[in-house]
Structure 1
Amino acid sequence: MLVVDDDEVIRQLIAVNLSLEGFEVSTATDGQDCLERVHDVMPDVITLDVMMPYLDGWVTAERLRADEATSHIKVVLITARAQDDDKRRGMNIGVDAYLTKPFDPAELIQVVRDLAALARS
């Protein structure tokens, strides 16, 4: 599990919730950090904020999908951007789920649990 968000509070909130559910969690502070860490971590699922400095979630997701080594990783976009166009853009990139902030931690856990199970099957 790799949690990517430039907001430390959100990043830790997601990481703690997932850790409490038994997931092994690593974190990254932005898209560039994610792309640098993903090959070492090779997570089943990545939660990815959209609006981040250096490399946003859109570009990060596109690069994850374009890389044969990471294209299979399940990606959950978590963002305050709730417009239909934003959701369509995420789905066109090939993300597996799209949650809007503020998100329900129970919903996030269920989405990650379901995607992790799919990744392992």
Structure 2
Amino acid sequence: MGEVLGKVLVVDDDEVIRQLIAVNLTLEGFQVETAYDGQNCLDRVLDVMPDVITLDVMMPRLDGWMTATRLRGDKGTRHIKVVLITARAQEDDKRRGLGIGVDAYLTKPFDPAELIQVVRDLALATRSG
């Protein structure tokens, strides 16, 4: 087994999508943890301390917008790279995500190879300082 490329927290309320992302990233060499919604992400993020979080937008309890806002507002988590993954592809949504300070924005259905490349680039940026 090669070097771990980084640690990723995959957050999605859809178990099928969560597992699809997790399997793809694990096969690529990432250490992957999962959370089933935004609140579960916030409850676990300090224990996991991922390099990158993939974050669905439309989730119960706490959506991706509010989760990303809280991650950015906390000095303990604001450095973590965040990739929003959503079916909402309007420019207003992308601007909102960038305004919060997310690092990347992918729309569903996404290309797993593109997701892997985005996560890899962000993880490398984190590790190189």
TM-score greater than 0.5 by the shorter chain: yes
Amino acid at match of 2:33: S
Residue from 77, 83, 88 that aligns with 1:76: 83
Question: Percent identity at matched positions?
Answer: 83
Shift of residue 83, structure 1, vs aligned partner: 0.2
Moved over 2 A (4+): none
Q: Indicate the residue corresponding to 1:44 in structure 2.
A: 51
TM alignment of 1:27-106, pairs within 5 A: 27-106=34-113
Shift of residue 69, structure 1, vs aligned partner: 0.3
Give the whole-Å Cα distance in 1 for the aligned partners of 2:126 and 2:57. 22
Q: How many residues align?
A: 121
Q: Indicate the residue corresponding to 2:4 in structure 1.
A: none
Per the alignment, in what secondary structure is the counterpart of residue 81 of structure 1?
A: coil
Shift of residue 92, structure 1, vs aligned partner: 0.1
Give the whole-Å Cα distance in 2 for the aligned partners of 1:118 and 1:7. 28
Give the whole-Å Cα distance in 2 for the aligned partners of 1:88 and 1:66. 18
Per the alignment, in what secondary structure is the counterpart of residue 69 of structure 1?
A: coil
Give the whole-Å Cα distance in 2 for the aligned partners of 1:17 and 1:107. 11
Give the whole-Å Cα distance in 1 for the aligned partners of 2:12 and 2:126. 22
Give the TM-score normalised by structure 1.
1.00
Shift of residue 57, structure 1, vs aligned partner: 0.1
Structure 2 unaligned segments of length 5 or more: list them: 1-7
Shift of residue 35, structure 1, vs aligned partner: 0.1
Give the whole-Å Cα distance in 1 for the aligned partners of 2:126 and 2:96. 22
Give the whole-Å Cα distance in 1 for the aligned partners of 2:87 and 2:107. 5
Amino acid at match of 1:72: H
C-alpha RMSD of the superposition: 0.2
Give the TM-score normalised by structure 2.
0.94
Per the alignment, in what secondary structure is the counterpart of residue 31 of structure 2?
A: coil
